[in-house]
Structure 1
Amino acid sequence: MDNQTTQAMRHIATATGKVVVPADLQADVDQFHYAPARRVGDFVYLSGIVACNRQPAPMSGQAFRDELRQVFRQIENLLAACDAVMADVIELQMFHVFGSGRLALDKAGQLAAIAGVRDEFFSSPYPVAVELAVADLNPDGGLVEIKTVAFAPLPRHG
């Protein structure tokens, strides 16, 4: 994570660790009252990050994969702000809106796209994962939300 990204993160000490709030999510946090990232001892919990298509026209498979890469990069950045890395991820929870008119992929295509992009960020042994179908996501146009848990014991030695 570069200095600009690091400086754009607000770190709030807690009794059990810390909360991290990216500057670009502060208004969302103020409105909905949640922590985007929270370190609790050796665990790091990330709130769901949504891949979405804010346009009414269906998103292509390639555009969806690009959007997923952005989500996984946000996960990387939040983990780094909590002194963790992608290899520390132990669980992914994915909430899918299947059959959305905003995505030009069927269920199998959507799952294949996610698996392909996920393989760019994780290697074997993979985190445990659950993939659930939901009717709708926030914000409007949400296609998949990814929630993450990592186990990253402190202190880190590098």
Structure 2
Amino acid sequence: RLKSWLKAMPSDSPTAVLKESLELEKKLKKGEEDEIVHRLVSELEKGGLATSGLKRTLRSLNRGEVQTLIATRDFSKPGRICPKCSFLFVDELRCPSCKRKTNPLVDVIDEAVEAAMDKNCQVRHIIPPSKLDRFGKIGAFLRYKASM
């Protein structure tokens, strides 16, 4: 599908055309990212199939609810992982599921991205600044909401 036009003349230098096309690509990508975040916020506001914030997003990921994980690029946070269940947490010292001691992680966001990909979820990185910053820099569209 055509998303934009790039006006160039045969006399334009390849460097100038490349520079302009890269700028256009960046604008289009930012527009797509803004649209994804807008859809996430709308879904959150109506209480639909979405979640945000690190703890809630990790809980949904652990439960298998996540369809698309959305995280701010370069967002990093320490966390914890269960060595048995591989569940991810912000600060749980024991896994609520199996009661084992959790191990520290340097970056729980990287682990969350890996876990999402292992579960066949889509993963989208959002270039900051964005509205996602106000929602904990991470969120997800959900397949379903588990009752609990």
Give the TM-score normalised by the residue count of structure 2. 0.33
Higher helix share: 2
Give the TM-score normalised by the residue count of structure 1. 0.31
Higher strand share: 1
Q: Which has the larger radius of gyration?
A: 2
